[in-house]
Amino acid sequence: MKNSLLVLAALALTTAAVAGPKAAPAKGPTSPKVTPALLAQGKQLFATTCVACHGEKGDGSGPAAAALNPKPRNFVTETFRNGDKPEQIFKTIGDGIPGTGMAAFAYLAEGDRWALAHYVTTLRPAKK
């Protein structure tokens, strides 16, 4: 009994050492710092790449929206299927939403996708 406890303790120690402070968190793309310049970059990309469907204010009223089913998301009033945190929007922009007009914009540089993700959050009403 005493021995098996010792073994357990030793095991726990080894595991702690392996998973310890050196273990990096799951590595995904990380956002650059949100600055006015990043948001301005996002706004500009949005105007050239997203407005046709999502509309200038992100309310889903772009000229191409009428022809789409499902309609482009209204960022101002609707819930996001895949979440509206910047990390989640970043992923949506890169992956698209299969079966809808929302294409994957993986051709955009990672920095551009982050700029867009953060800009989209500014079109959402502030959360309380």
The footprint of ligand HEC (CB under 6 A) covers 49-50, 52-54, 64, 68, 70, 72-73, 80-82, 89, 92-93, 97, 100-102, 105, 116, 120
Q: How crowded is residue 41: how many other Cβ atoms within 10 Å of its Cβ?
A: 18
Nearer to ligand HEC, 35 or 81 (CB): 81
Nearer to ligand HEC, 41 or 54 (CB): 54
State in angstroms the smallest separation of the CB of 36 from ligand HEC: 19
CB 53 within 8 A of CB 72: yes
Nearer to ligand HEC, 16 or 63 (CB): 63
Nearer to ligand HEC, 14 or 101 (CB): 101
Give the integer Cα–Cα distance in Å for 50 and 42.
Answer: 10
State in angstroms the smallest separation of the CB of 38 from ligand HEC: 14
State in angstroms the smallest separation of the CB of 67 from ligand HEC: 9
**Residue type present at position 73:** R
Where do we find the tokens 């895949």?
82
State in angstroms the smallest separation of the CB of 23 from ligand HEC: 31
